[in-house]
Amino acid sequence: MYTKNTFPAIVGRGTSDNPSGRFESLQIEPDPDYLEELSEQRPATTFLNDATRNILAKNDSPDIPFTYSLNPYRGCEHGCIYCYARPTHEYLGFSAGLDFETKILVKKDAPALLEEAFRKPGWQPQVVALSGNTDCYQPIEKKLELTRRCLRVFLKYRNPVGIITKNALITRDTDVLQELAALNLLAVRISITTLDQKLCKIMEPRTSSPKKRLGAIRALSKAGIPVGVNIAPIIPAINESEIGRIAEAAAEAGAGTASYIMVRLPHANKMLFQNWLERHFPDRTTKVLNAIRSLREGELYKSTFHTRMHGTGTRADLVHDVFTMACRKHHLNREFPPLDTQLFHRDNTQLSLFDA
């Protein structure tokens, strides 16, 4: 249910809203005076330990080109207002709003758990995605290095990995990435939503700037690492007109392929995104929402397989055509070769149960 919010924006955060989760029986209405104070204080990020014992998440969606993903963190400090993963925080008893970007769960055992998964006799070598519901290079990764250590595990067992991120921090790990790429065990995609730094700061406030993301593409490409661009999400009447410019800039930086996804607003995302529009684009709110509905059969979101990523209708077809032409013009209309699953080997250094 959409509840119009007039609470002030918090600098450096994607939203100041923190609605109760859809699984909560108690609904809390925050005091506007408290939120006013909160916006001035700039709430800090809290990092919590996630004691999960299963590190690989499995999905069977026909829309997703991988079965397993690895999320070293839950929640994401990048704070992208449109992030489809926001509602997953509600399973933890948190809000999809401000909690999602200020209460980050950290899987400190992720590298060890990944090794454990690869050692199991039943593991079949296949591409694992880093990540599915978070950004594996969000700011705390600079300190904790969980993603870097997991990459070492992928290299050790020769298991292929696909990385998608909005953060230029990925270039820190160029040495490991080069080793993986040399064995055809790696593909990277850098997401670029806009080239407009002002829009970036309010839409995805703690990501790397568009300039730095292009720099990351350039650095990875020069290092011999296969890298593509993900133009996502495309939001009608917000960044829709930038498709061609992003494709051109990414190709110039060295991207070899491209993909796109239309904005997705499941569950609480609808309210969060509408309030964001009211705060930052009040004169454009109705236009944007109606355009999104034209992609989703009159709704703000439909979860139907095969169409949820790109939408349906005339506008969806137009976006697809613009994207296709841009890829053809800038030579981004090719796919990387399949990653190698034949090199996988299990660690045999453990003592046998029959060893003395």
Assess if residue 183 is contained within a domain.
yes
Expressed as residue numbers, the domain containing 107 is 32-329
Residue 293 in tokens: 């509905």
What backbone phi and psi angles, to 5 degrees, belong to 231?
-85, 90
Q: How far is CA 277 from CA 6, 195, 263, 274, in A?
A: 11, 19, 14, 5
The pTM assigned to this predicted structure is 0.92
What is the side-by-side strand order in the sheet with 73-74?
Answer: 46-49, 103-106, 73-74
pLDDT, residue 226, reads: 97
pLDDT, residue 336, reads: 87
What type of residue is 168?
A: A
CB crowding 203-225: b at 16 or more within 10 Å, else e: bbbbbbebebbbbbbbbbbeeeb
Angle at 165 between CA 120 and CA 181, to 5 degrees: 60
Residues 6 or more apart whose CB falls under 8 angstroms from that of 293 comprise 299, 300
Q: CA-CA distance, 108 to 95, in Å (whole number)?
A: 23
CB atoms inside a 10 Å sphere around CB 122: 5
pLDDT, residue 351, reads: 35
pLDDT, residue 60, reads: 87
Assess if residue 344 is contained within a domain.
no
pLDDT, residue 27, reads: 59
Q: Which residue has the tokens 């809000």?
A: 95
Q: How many domains does the chain have?
A: 1
pLDDT, residue 333, reads: 86
For position 250, which CATH number holds? 3.80.30.30
Assess if residue 4 is contained within a domain.
no
Assess if residue 335 is contained within a domain.
no
Assess if residue 102 is contained within a domain.
yes
Q: CA-CA distance, 171 to 213, in Å (whole number)?
A: 10
pLDDT, residue 106, reads: 98
Q: What is the pLDDT along the chain (356 residues), one digit of tens a residue?
A: 445 655 688 999 999 999 887 776 665 566 666 556 655 667 899 999 999 999 999 998 888 889 999 999 999 999 999 999 999 999 999 999 999 999 999 999 999 999 999 999 999 999 999 998 999 999 999 999 999 999 999 999 999 999 999 999 999 999 999 999 999 999 999 999 999 999 999 999 999 999 999 999 999 999 999 999 999 999 999 999 999 999 999 999 999 999 999 999 999 999 999 999 999 999 999 999 999 999 999 999 999 999 999 999 999 999 999 999 999 999 998 888 999 999 999 865 443 333 33
Assess if residue 104 is contained within a domain.
yes
Residue 138 in tokens: 């969000």
Assess if residue 261 is contained within a domain.
yes
Assess if residue 350 is contained within a domain.
no
**Strand partners of residue 128:** 68, 161
pLDDT, residue 349, reads: 44
pLDDT, residue 4, reads: 60
If residue 49 lies in a helix (H) or strand (E), which one and from where to where? strand 46-49
Three-state SS at 225: coil
